[in-house]
Amino acid sequence: MKIAILGGGGAMGGIFGGYLARAGNDVTLIDVSKAAVTAINDNGLTIEEKDGSQPVIKVLASNNPASVGPVDLIINFVKCYHTEAAVRAAAPMIAKETAVLSLQNGWGNAPRIASIVGEDRVLVGLTYHGGTLLAPGRVKHPGSGMTYIGELAGKPTERLGKVIDTFRAAQIETTQSDRILDEVWKKLAL
């Protein structure tokens, strides 16, 4: 699967992007930080795991979405106040079948994305993985947990199944939710 990660130079974007790239997907980490893009392209992405291992994953990074071209999936990990700008900048990567998945913390990101790309493109998720950015191109992954993904409209689709299968193949424990907005509220309540 061809995947772009918005906020890919950050902790969570790096962890998910690194795992997906390591599993053989064509992944590009998109980030506005020139230091992050340079570090990842020059040295790879290092993920410090809870068990002490520090794999270095070769993955592309860019601050130019137009250079990536159309993708199958865009995963949005930017801070909520950058959502609209990031999704608008991602326009060159959006083709007829591109899905946009928000794995951001907080409430209201999916409607913001839908107002730009259309509700039919939007997947919503949340994750209980944790991450810390240590330096450009270096993230700490202190703990993992379940990731929930669903269609914004609630009904399961073939593309949702493909995304879940892709995440599972990348060793990201993932489950489908037909009531994903309820799951987001549960996490907010925590």
pLDDT surpasses 60 at 187: no
Is 79 annotated as catalytic?
no
Q: Class assignment of domain 2-189?
A: alpha beta
Question: What is the pTM (predicted TM-score) of this model?
Answer: 0.93
Beta bridge partners of residue 123, listed in sequence order: 101, 151
Mean pLDDT of the chain, nearest integer = 92
User: What's residue 153's pLDDT?
Assistant: 77
DSSP of 29-82, one letter per residue?
A: EE-S-HHHHHHHHHH-EEEEETTS---EE--EEES-GGGT--EEEEEE-S-GGG
Element (H, E) at 5: strand 2-6
The reported pLDDT for the residue numbered 190 is 52
Per-residue pLDDT tens digits for 69-80: 999 999 999 998
187 phi/psi in degrees, rounded to 5: -65, -40
Comparing CA positions, the residue from 79, 2, 4, 17 lying closest to residue 47 is 17
- The per-residue pLDDT for 189 is 46
Rounded CA gap, 184 and 182, in Å? 5
Q: Which residue has 């998910």 as its token pair?
A: 16
| CA count, 13 A, side-chain hemisphere, 64 | 3
Please write the tens of the pLDDT for every residue from 108-164: 788 899 999 999 999 998 898 999 999 999 999 998 899 999 988 778 899 999 999
